[in-house]
Chains A and B, each alone.
Chain A
Amino acid sequence: MNDQMEAVVQIATEYQAGTISRRAFIVRLFALGLSLTSVSAILAACSSSTQTSLATGTAAGSAPTLPGSLPASAVPSASPLAGKITIWDAFSDDAHAKYFQPHWIDPFVARDRAESVQLVVKPFDSFNQVLQTALVAGSGPDIIVAGIPQLVGWAGAGYLADLTKYAQIYGWADQFQPWALSVGKLGGKLVFLPNELETMIALYSPDTFKKYGWSMPTNRAEFEALCTDAASRGIMPVGAGNADFQPASEWLVGIFLNYAAGPQAVYEGLTGVRPWSDAVFVGALSLLIDYMHRGWIGGGVQKYFTNSFATLYGDLAKGTAAMMLPGSWSFAEVPAYFGAAANNTATWDWAPLWPFASGVPEDLYMLAVGSEWAANAASNSLDVAGDWLNYRLTSAQRQAQALKDEGDEPAPLKFTASDFVAGTDQRYQRLYVTLGAAKNIGYTTWTFWGGPSDTYLYTTIDKVFAGKMSVEDYLSGLDVQFKKDVAAGIVPPIPAPSA
């Protein structure tokens, strides 16, 4: 034990002197067989004051005493990380369910037999309700996955553990894209981690574009010209609908707020500088409504509410829809409708969205995280939970493998082209490399608005589409709700649009 103490002091001294990196510091502490809690506490103590030096142990055989704010839990022990955690998850299809255990659990458990992980698959449609009921009852899984609006509410009720300690231990700030990590920080604590990096794109069939001599628009005029031509041929210019998923309407709202009002205006709206009832937002959504009434979006209001995704993807493959404006999650869905999988020869590709107004940057990508991972505050194995979250989310290689295998959106890590696995669909790879290099970012409603505001956005816009509410009234209502969300502290930190 004395040897261990001396080694700890030596490593800590080197770290404080700056001769070894944070990561090397952590790796060497673990190599000594220290527990995660001990490493965490030592790290916190070392980080609390770079001026403080480490003292030697007080007595032979006892643990070293660290000056400063070292808590009792910092006493190093030689016990390995041990414990059992449960994960509840729900899958929209069998393929993803079958992929999870052998790729995200078995290899993790195989590293260290003292850690045990159990996956419990729950019904997809009622997953949030089942999870919430368990949390309210003071039970539930150790690992929680849900959307941001739910997690923000649960964090406020005290159901989610503070992961700040594990962020320090594993260096998550160095691994995730800063904006994505900041979304999970509430009240100065990190309470959830980003799972899926998403953006909005234009999906199209190059065959259809070639047939009619079209090219992807790069501005509003080109978009309107394409829509006019497509409509004149009986082709739906933009395939859209919310029959399967009511929140699909918010995708359109977000696109027009960002690409017509511009990301700077949205940033000002999200930071409370500009009211949502501002003329620039009214103009942006009025343009969307105009396109809807011209029949360019989803075939118009008569068809929009009954268009299903399967029908729209099929229309895209058949050439009866020119394009769709979904999120990058569609990469996991769209292959089933094209090529051999659908017994046709159609192909698909994606393109970035284009500005609908002057002054809006051309290389603009709306950022989103699709779902988030968190740990249950009632968990008895938080250290194992933190370790698994680190395993699940921070390996670019494993994320890239899942992207290749299943079309799963990767976590928002700092990807480079070399991170991708050989054989990965070039369309996927192109998207994530482009996203990683994006200079201008936009804001998706489900990531950057507060939960109630987001619900208002997609439940009420249908009335505007149907002509039962004006754009002005819709945005005034949003303004009222958004101010409540700001006051409640449930709007996440907003990165600048040129971040």
Chain B
Amino acid sequence: MSIVGGPRLASSLARTEQRTRISRAWRAWRTWRGWVFVLPLLLVNVIIIVVPAALSVYYSFTDWRGFGQAHLVGLDNYLRLASDPDFISAFVHNIVWMVYFLAIPIPIGLAGAFLLLRIRRWRTLFQLIFFAPYVIASVITSQIWKNLIDPNYGLGSFFGFNLLGDYNLALPTIATINMWAWWGFLVVVFFGAMQAINPELYEAAQIDGAGVFAMFWSIMLPGIRPTLMFLGLMTIIWSFLAFDYVYILTRGGPAGASDVLATLLYRDAFSAAEVGYASAVGVVLGAISAVIVGLWLVLRRLRKWDI
């Protein structure tokens, strides 16, 4: 056995070992690097979403007033919700709000996008005009409408109505004002989805003698179904989060006629200092959204939808 090869072999072994170590480290890095990049975002999410959400759940079982000691009260807050006429009324208003936003702006948005697709000139201008109200801050939109329909010096004075002061008309009036700012957004989104449909489908349908309605119903709607379903889902979720227009225009009045769950929650937490009870309202709001998203996921799996 020659001893000449000893140092060479040792050096080779050392190099191999080093390469193996680097390779292992590289594989480990490849495995974990995704987490390293995501970690800051995860931390932010944990701090500003998970922790407050967990605290809300905890406080919903207490009598906390927003300060001082919190005492556990079991299910008292949830039992109170079930018999609180203000909560039930606000919940019903959210349902009305949801039906309103599913029934009116979505069809208008679809119709607007479909009509927009059929014109060539001024298309971008119309898109801009339709979309403009959506980018105006809700507080400005609300104030403009409030002045416009004011019963003392606005249209209300001229026509003799007081829409925001009427117990039966306040909620639909607020929803209509919100809808004015919302439907243009739907037009633009639906328009984008419709443009992605293969034009050959329309040409084939035309050759087959299909009319405008048939093309809309049989090509357009199925073609934008993922977008339509997604916006429908978000409309339902956003309906339960409605707050800004209601708060700015009536603060839930008159006499609770336009109260929704979010304004009720806000009032309970910050005016009545019942943070424990308001947390229970918040947990119910979160649960509603979770159920809707859950139903959506089940439906998507059953129907094999691609979004």
Contacts and interface: CB of A to CB of B under 8 A. Distances in A.
A binds B: yes
B7 to A, nearest CB: 67
B158 to A, nearest CB: 15
A149 B273 CA distance: 10
B273 A303 contact: no
A459 interface: yes
B68 A153 contact: yes
A467 B166 CA distance: 12
A468 B151 contact: no
B255 A465 contact: yes
Given A246-B251, A306-B150, A466-B255, A136 B67 contact: yes
B273 A302 contact: no
Nearest to A308: B152
Interface string B157-170: 00000101111000
Contact of A452 (B152, B255, B257, B272): B272
B93 interface: no
Contacts of B255: 305, 462-463, 465-466, 468
Q: Which of A149, A311, A451, A463 has the most CB of B within 10 A?
A: A463
Contacts of A154: 67
A153 B273 contact: yes
A412 to B, nearest CB: 26
B253 A246 contact: yes
Contact of B267 (A149, A301, A459): A459
A156 interface: yes
B254 A462 contact: yes
Contacts of B251: 246
A229 to B, nearest CB: 22
Q: Which of A305, A306, A462, A465 has the most CB of B within 10 A?
A: A306
A158 interface: yes
The B interface is mostly helix, strand or loop, or mixed, namely loop
Interface string B234-253: 00000000000000001101
A455 B67 contact: no
A158 B162 CA distance: 47
B67 A157 contact: yes
A437 B168 CA distance: 48
Interface in A141-166: 149-150, 153-154, 156-159
Interface string B197-230: 0000000000000000000000000000000000
B31 interface: no
Q: Which of B66, B68, B165, B251 has the most CB of A within 10 A?
A: B165
A259 interface: no
Contacts of B166: 302
Contacts of B69: 157
A79 interface: no
B254 A466 contact: yes
Contact of B272 (A304, A455, A462, A463): A455
A302 B165 CA distance: 6
A51 interface: no
Interface string A239-267: 00010001000000000000000000000
A129 B164 CA distance: 28
Interface string B47-82: 000000000000000000111110000000000000
Interface string B167-179: 1000000000000
B67 A132 contact: yes
Contacts of B271: 455, 459
A154 B152 CA distance: 41
B133 interface: no
Nearest to B66: A132
Contact of B162 (A135, A246, A302, A452): A302
B270 interface: yes
B256 interface: yes
B167 A466 contact: yes
Contacts of B67: 132, 135-136, 153-154, 157, 159
Nearest to B165: A306
Contacts of A301: 254
A303 B165 CA distance: 6
Contact of A466 (B152, B250, B257, B270): B257
Nearest to A135: B67
A136 B253 contact: no
A326 to B, nearest CB: 18
Q: Which of B69, B153, B251 has the most CB of A within 10 A?
A: B251
Contacts of B68: 153, 156-158
A156 B66 CA distance: 12
B165 A305 contact: yes
Interface string A370-413: 00000000000000000000000000000000000000000000
A320 to B, nearest CB: 10
Contacts of B253: 242, 246, 305, 462
- List of 8 A-B pairs having minimum Cβ-Cβ separation, nearest first: A157-B68, A305-B254, A466-B255, A306-B165, A462-B255, A305-B165, A463-B255, A157-B67
11 contacts: A135-B67, A150-B273, A153-B273, A157-B68, A246-B253, A304-B165, A306-B165, A455-B272, A463-B256, A466-B167, A466-B255
Given A150-B273, A311-B153, 9 more contacts: A132-B67, A154-B67, A156-B68, A157-B69, A242-B253, A306-B162, A452-B273, A462-B255, A466-B254
